[in-house]
Structure 1
Amino acid sequence: MTARTLAVVSAGLSQPSSTRLLADQLAAATRDELVRRGDTVEVRSVELREHAHDIVNHLLTGFPSPALREVLDAVTGADGLIAVTPIFNASYNGLFKSFFDLVEKDALADRPVLAAATGGTARHSLALEHALRPMFAYLRAVVVPTTVFAAPEDWSGGTADGALRRRVERAGAELADQVHRRAASTGPTDPFALTGSFEDLLSGLRRDA
């Protein structure tokens, strides 16, 4: 039995939010599949609206608040990531993009990601392929084949309809498969950590002298 961590980032601006609702259902599907495979799962949900001011301040100053640093570490240190945004003007919203602009280079390299989105019309679903998938590819993450888009007509009484539920389950199973086959994450990389002993570093300096 392997302990896994799953970070779930949602960028909805309203409360309650269909974006958060979709994120929770994707997390549940992924968690259930990992448990079925014998793993234990800790889910860390992040609503970016709660950190909006800290995100802007970090963009302006280059320094995260302690709370935002904790969130960034949770996301980059997780075994798998679910990222869900509402679609505005045919792309992810500004809060979503601003957060991932703060992720350090290579911090998501080889990390399994499930990308999903919500929008007012099904026509926005193409944003998953022309906006979200390329962004995560640039970050060198591994985006699972199935992305999930939910329009208003996909919800019935606050729950996913049959077609959406099947997409959620398929995407969750794909993310669980990617997470399960990898070694458990050791947490976020410390950019200031030494890659060798002081003796090794000093001997290298002596050789260069």
Structure 2
Amino acid sequence: MTAYRLVVISAGLSKPSSTRLLADRLTDATVRQLTAEGREVDVQVVELRDLATDIAHNFVTGFPGPALREAIEAVGRADGLIAVTPIFAASYSGLFKSFFDVIDPDTLTGKPVLIAATGGTARHSLALEHAVRPLFSYLRSVVVPTSVYAATDDWGTTGDRLTDGLPGRIDRAAGELAGLLAGRAPSGPAGGGAAQEEAVVPFEQQLAALRV
């Protein structure tokens, strides 16, 4: 059975970081739900803190270094993405945005993406909806309905009768991503997600169809 390729983008700056911790929990939940259905998953984690210098050089030179090129190619081959950023000044981090700025805009077209973020206070939770989700919508990704925000106080909470705690939100978002992946054929070992060539319909034939 061909395994699904899941790429996890973590933009945490410290080591260890709550951003990476949230990314790991989302990854574990997604893999668990897919393997429960008998599906195999290959996971690759991209730590953006390790690529910060390469990303800056890419903006200046126009060419990615080997490590950045490998990360970009991994995103292109991926069947699905988990993208997690810390929230700074009510938006995604500059490092997170810069990574997606150096990727060809068509790379993420139609690709399932689970978005998540961490921050010190719950007041920044809507940054996922007014900043992160529009970014991936612009890139024409298929973003799962549930975004996951983890404030400092969320770790270890179980929620109440009206709201889910962090574990519940993680499981729900992971289930949505797993469902999208399960509806797609894995990209396969050779490839990587390369789109099949579209059949070209001659212009005269298109005009004839309009006259019918």
TM-score normalised by L of structure 1: 0.87
User: C-alpha separation between the residues in 2 aligned to 1:112 and 1:93?
Assistant: 21
Counterpart secondary structure, 2:109:
coil
Counterpart secondary structure, 2:87:
strand
User: C-alpha separation between the residues in 2 aligned to 1:47 and 1:173?
Assistant: 24
Structure 1, gaps ≥5 residues long: 197-209
1:25-84 superposed Cα distances (whole Å, 9 cap, x missing partner): 000000011101111011101110011000110111110011111111111211110000
> What amino acid is aligned across from residue 107 of structure 2 in structure 1?
A
Q: Which runs of 4+ in 1 moved over 2 A?
A: none
Is 1:55 equivalent to 2:55 in the alignment?
Answer: yes
> What amino acid is aligned across from residue 169 of structure 2 in structure 1?
R
Overall identity of the aligned pairs, in % = 61
The equivalent of 2:117 in structure 1 is: 117
Is 1:187 equivalent to 2:192 in the alignment?
Answer: yes
Aligned 8 A contact 1:9 1:81 in 2: yes
User: C-alpha separation between the residues in 2 aligned to 1:59 and 1:187?
Assistant: 26
User: C-alpha separation between the residues in 2 aligned to 1:144 and 1:28?
Assistant: 17
The equivalent of 1:41 in structure 2 is: 41
The equivalent of 2:25 in structure 1 is: 25
Aligned residues: CA RMSD: 1.5
Q: 1:149 to 1:44 in 2, by over 3 A?
A: same
Correspondent of 2:169 among 156, 167, 187: 167
Aligned 8 A contact 2:79 2:193 in 1: no
1:10-36 superposed Cα distances (whole Å, 9 cap, x missing partner): 101111100000000000000011101
The equivalent of 1:9 in structure 2 is: 9
Shift of 1:105: 2.2
User: C-alpha separation between the residues in 2 aligned to 1:95 and 1:117?
Assistant: 14
User: C-alpha separation between the residues in 1 aligned to 2:193 and 2:60?
Assistant: 23
TM-score normalised by L of structure 2: 0.85
The equivalent of 2:210 in structure 1 is: none
